[in-house]
Amino acid sequence: MIKPETVQRIIDTSQIVEVVSDFVSLKKRGANFIGLCPFHNEKTPSFHVSASKGIFKCFGCGKGGNSVSFVMEHEHYSYVEALKYLANKYSIEVEEVEMSDEMKAELSERETNFAINQFAQKFFTKTLFESDEGKQIALTYFKEREFSIDTLKKFQVGFSPSSWDAFILEATKNGYTKEQLVKSGLVIEKEGRYYDRFRERVIFPIHNISGRVLGFGGRILSSEKSQAKYINSPESDIYNKSKILYGINFAKNQIVKEDNCLLVEGYTDVLSMNQAGIENVVASSGTSLTTEQIRLIKKFTSNITIIYDGDPAGIKASLRGIGLILSEDMNVKVVLLPEPEDPDSFVKKNRSSEVQKYFEENAQNFILFKTKLLLSETENDPIRKSQVISEIIDDIALIPNQITRAVYVKECSALFEISENSLIGQLNKILTKKFRSRVKKQGQDTSGIDELMPIKEEEQQSRLEVDYYNPQYQEGAIIHILLNYGTKNFKIKDLDENNNKQEETYQVATYIISDLTNDEIDFTNALYAEMFLEYKNRFFENDSNIERFFTSHENEEIRNKAIDFLSFPYDISDEWKNKHNIETPDINDESTNILQEMIFSSLLKLKLRRIEMLMKDIENSMKEETDYEEIVLMMQKHKSLGDIRLELTKHLNIIVTH
C-alpha cells in the first residue's frame, strides 16, 4: 500500500499535458490542448486537456479524468500501478513491499502475466550478458551484426538458454506456478511435460506504449530448417499482435517531434536504425498492417513512411494492406531501398546523415508509387492497364478527404494518359455505391455514421428529457459555478438608503454558501448534496486547490461529475477575435456583471423550482385531504408560496404559465 501523503504528492506533481503527451499528439488551442481521443476512433479531435485544471475530457465518447485515471484507462492499470507509473515518471520514491508467494497467487491472471513477463525479460537479459552460453553464442551473434551493448540494453534484448527448462526452474523458484507460466505463453505443456517456448533463441521483448512487456519475439541462431526462424508469444489477454508495434515505446516522442513514423518489417531493422540515431521507427514484425496498428501510429502523427527493400514480391504483398492507412485519412509515403539492401544493412553501410538524406530524397507518395509500379508491368496490354486503373481508383476512393482525392485524380490522369473526367466518373461510381451501402445499413448498423453525428441519437433523447423544472438541474448549476468560479470575486452595485450608488465586492463561494444557508436551502440530489457539503468544508478549511481535490476524488461518481462541470469543449481563439475585431466579454472580469447575473439567476431559479415543487406537493395533498380546516391552512400556505414565486419570476423576468 502506498502512503496517502505519497499518493497526494504524485497527484500534485503529475502534469496532465506531459502525461497525456506520452500517448497522444496534442496541439494548443486557446487555453487547452486538443488531440484525437485514444479511447475511441475519431477523425476530428474532440479530446481536450486542461493544464490549469489538471484534467482531460473527450466530448466524443465522454471519458474524462485526471493523470491517474488517464493512465489507468489507457494502459489498463490498477490504481496502484498507475500511481507507480507516475511516480517513476516524476522520480518520486515509492516504498514497495516484496510480494509473497501468497500475494502472487492472489493476483489476477492479467496482472500475473505482466509480472511473469517482467520477470522473464530480466532473466533473458541477464542470461545474455552474464551466462557463458549467452556471451559465447548470442552476444557473439549480435557483435557480428555490429549491434552495440547500449542498443541491446536499451531494447532489453536477451537470450533463452538451450536447456529445456532453464526458465521454468528459475520462475518456479521465484514463486510462479507451472500453470501460470503456461498461461503466460512462455512455457509449453505437452503430455504432462513442460518446456521453455523460446529455448536457444535470442529474445526481443515487445512493449506497449508505456514500456510494459506484453510478449516476446524469439529468433533461432542455428541453421536447422525444421525450426521456424522467428516465433512469438501466443495471443493472450495482454498480447495481441494486431494491436501493437515493435519499438513504439521508444519511438513515440521522436515520431511527434518529426511528425512522421518510419515503418519497417523486423526487430533488427528497428535496432539498427535506432543505433544510427533514427528513432522515429517501428516494426510490424512481419505481419500485415492492421487498423489497430495504424490508429496506434495516428495517436502521434498523420504521416507514415514505409521503408521497403528491393524485393518486388514482398512489396506487392504489402501493398494490399496500405488501403487501411488511406481509409484512416493518413499520408503514406514509400521509400524503396537499393537492391539488395534492407533497412538493417543499409544503415550499417551509410552514415546517419546519408540515410536521412536518402529517405528525404526518395520518399514517394504511395498512390503514385503504386501507379508507377503496376503500370511498369502492363507494357502494351490494355486489359491489364484497365485493371491497374481500376485498382488505383479503388485506393483513391478510400481517402476521406475530397481535396486529397482530387489531387490524386489529377496526377494519376497524367500517368495513365487518360482524361480526368473518365477517372472522376469511375471514382463517383465507387463513392455512390459506398454511400448507398452505408445508407442501406443505417437501420441495422449505424457505427459507420456515428462520427458524422454531432450528437448521438440516444444523447439527443437524454438532453430532451432534462427536467428543467426540477431543482436538481439548478443544484447542478450551483456546483458548476462553485467549481469554476468559487474563488473569484464579483461586485454588486446598489443604492443605499439615501439613494446613493454603492458597490460591494463578494467572493463567489462565500456569497452562495451564505445565501443558501440563510434561506435553509438543502440539495435534493444526493450526489450534489455531498459535493456541496465537501466543497463548503474544503473552502472554509482554506484549501488552495479545491479543483484538484474533486478531480482526484476517491468517489468515482463525484470525480466524473466534477470533471464534467470543469470541462468545456470550446474556446474563442485570439486569431478569430483579432480578425473580426470583436471584443468578447470576460466572465472573470470584475468590471462586468456577467458572473453576478449567473450567480443571481442560478440561486433564484433554484429557489423558484423548490417553491414550485412545494406548491405541487400541497396541491396533491389537498386532493387527498378531507379536513376542511387543514385544506384552508394548505390554501393559505399555497398562496404565500405563490406570492414568493411571483416575486422571483419578476426578478428573473419569467412569465408563469401554470
CATH number reported for the structural domain that contains residue 201 in this entry: 3.90.980.10
| pLDDT category of residue 421 using cuts at 50, 70 and 90 | confident
Same domain, 308 and 190: no
Assess if residue 94 is contained within a domain.
no
Least confident of 323-337, 458-472, 492-506: 458-472
- DSSP state letters, 490-534: EEEEEE-TTS-EEEEEEEHHHHHHHHHHHTTPPPSSHHHHHHHHH
Higher pLDDT, 29 or 165: 165
In a domain, 151, yes or no: yes
Determine which of 168-172, 336-340, 409-413, 448-452 has the lowest per-residue pLDDT on average.
448-452
**pLDDT of 388 strictly over 70:** yes
Q: What is the CATH number of the domain that holds 271?
A: 3.40.1360.10
Mean pLDDT of 473-491: 86
- Summarize the confidence of residues 133-154 as an average pLDDT: 94
Q: What is the DSSP letter of 233?
A: P
Residues contacting residue 582 through CB under 8 Å, at least 6 positions apart: none
pLDDT of residue 400: 79
596 Cα distance to chain centroid: 37
Task: Find the mean pLDDT for residues 374-388.
Answer: 81
Mean pLDDT over residues 443-456, rounded? 39
- The three-state secondary structure class of 380 is coil
**pLDDT attached to residue 176:** 93
Together in a domain, 165 and 304:
no
Number of domains in the chain: 4
Share of the chain above pLDDT 90, in %: 24
**Mean of the pLDDT values across residues 347-360?**
90
CB atoms within 10 A of CB 488: 16
Structural domain of 166: 101-239
Residue 67 or 370, more confident: 67
**pLDDT for position 1:** 61
Q: Which residues contact 617 (CB under 8 A, 6 or more apart)?
A: none
Q: What is the DSSP string of 573-620?
A: -HHHHHHHT-----TT-TTSSHHHHHHHHHHHHHHHHHHHHHHHHHHH
Q: What is the pLDDT of residues 599-613, one digit of tens each?
A: 888 888 888 887 888
Query: What's the pLDDT at 152?
Result: 96
Instruction: Indicate if 214 and 172 belong to the same structural domain.
Output: yes
User: Same domain for 507 and 617?
Assistant: yes
Residues 534 and 325: their CA atoms lie apart, in Å, by: 49
Read off the C-alpha cell for 32: 487547452
The answer as to whether 507 is a domain residue is yes
Q: Does the structure show a pLDDT above 80 at 565?
A: yes
Is the pLDDT assigned to residue 380 strictly greater than 80? no
Mean pLDDT over residues 144-150, rounded?
94
Mean pLDDT of the chain: 82
Shortest CA distance to 599 belongs to which of 504, 522, 467, 489? 489
Cα 51 vs. chain centroid, distance in angstroms?
16
In the chain the first and final C-alpha atoms are separated, in Å, by 58
The share of the chain scoring above pLDDT 70, in percent, equals: 85
Per the CB < 8 A criterion, the answer to whether 538 and 548 are in contact is no
Instruction: Answer yes or no: do 29 and 51 share one domain.
Output: yes
Residues 98-106 have a mean pLDDT of 57
Contact 11, 24 (CB under 8 A): no
Most confident segment among 34-43, 173-182, 278-287: 173-182
Residue 541, in any domain of the structure: yes
**pLDDT (average), residues 104-120:** 79
Question: What is the per-residue pLDDT for 454?
Answer: 36
The answer on 197 and 317 residing in a single domain is no
Report yes or no on 460 lying in a domain: no
In angstroms, rounded to a whole number, what is the distance separating the alpha carbons of residues 561 and 555?
Answer: 10
Query: Of 69, 89, 109, which one is at a domain's C-terminal end?
Result: 89
In this structure, the answer to whether residues 112 and 82 fall within a common structural domain is no
Residues in contact with 454: Cβ distance below 8 Å, sequence separation at least 6, in sequence order:
none
- Check whether 177 has a pLDDT greater than 80: yes
User: 174-183, 431-440, 573-582: which has the minimum mean pLDDT?
Assistant: 573-582
- Which segment of 419-423, 446-450, 496-500 scores lowest on mean pLDDT? 446-450
Pair (363, 418) in one structural domain: yes
Task: Determine, yes or no, domain membership for 449.
Answer: no
Q: Kindly report the backbone phi and psi dihedral angles of residue 28, in degrees, each rounded to the nearest multiple of 5, phi listed first.
A: -70, 135
Q: Which residues contact 126 (CB under 8 A, 6 or more apart)?
A: 158
Q: Is the pLDDT of residue 159 over 50?
A: yes
Which is higher by pLDDT, 593 or 192? 192
Q: Which of 346-350, 431-435, 567-571 has the highest mean pLDDT?
A: 346-350
In a domain, 37, yes or no: yes
Among candidate residues 419, 439, 459, the one where a domain is terminated:
439
One domain, residues 262 and 222: no
**What is the rounded average pLDDT of the residues 60-75?**
87
Is the Cβ–Cβ distance between 204 and 246 less than 8 Å?
A: yes
Alpha helices in 94-237 (DSSP H): 101-106, 109-130, 132-133, 140-144, 149-154, 166-173, 178-184
Q: Report yes or no: 594 and 587 within 8 Å, Cβ to Cβ.
A: yes
Q: How many angstroms separate the CA atoms of 591 and 10, rounded?
A: 38
Distance CA 285, CA 442 (A): 37
Alpha helices in 398-470 (DSSP H): 402-416, 420-441, 457-464
| Residue 637, pLDDT score | 85
The grid coordinates listed for 207 are 512493449
Q: Report the alpha-carbon distance of residue 254 to residue 330 in Å, rounded.
A: 18
Evaluate if residue 653 carries a pLDDT over 70.
no
In angstroms, rounded to a whole number, what is the distance separating the alpha carbons of residues 446 and 20?
30
DSSP assignment letter at 138: I
Torsions phi, psi of 250, nearest 5?
A: -85, -25
The whole-angstrom separation of Cα 271 and Cα 248 is: 12
Q: Do the domain assignments include residue 244?
A: no
Q: Name the domain boundary from 424, 439, 454.
A: 439
Of 594, 566, 583, nearest in space to 490 by CA: 594
Residue 466's pLDDT is 38
pLDDT tens digits for 460-473? 333 333 344 456 77
User: What is the torsion angle, in degrees rounded to the nearest 10, for the CA atoms of residue 280, residue 120, residue 144 and residue 246?
Assistant: -20
Nearest one of 61, 82, 81 to 19, comparing CA atoms: 82
- Find the range with the poorest average confidence among 53-57, 241-245, 312-316, 323-327: 312-316
User: What is the structure's pLDDT at 246?
Assistant: 95
329 and 420 assigned to the same domain = yes
Specify whether the CB–CB gap between 122 and 170 falls below 8 A. Answer: no
| 564 and 613 inside one domain | yes
Indicate whether 69 and 139 sit together in one domain.
no
pLDDT tens, 521-563? Answer: 888 888 888 999 989 888 888 877 788 888 888 788 888 888 8
369 vs 117: which has the higher pLDDT: 117
Provide the 3-class DSSP secondary structure of residue 474.
helix
Nine-digit cell at 244? 501493437
Window from 176-185, 452-461, 502-511, 515-524 with minimum mean pLDDT: 452-461
The SS3 call for residue 282 is strand
Q: What is the pLDDT of residue 447?
A: 41
pLDDT at 247 over 90: yes
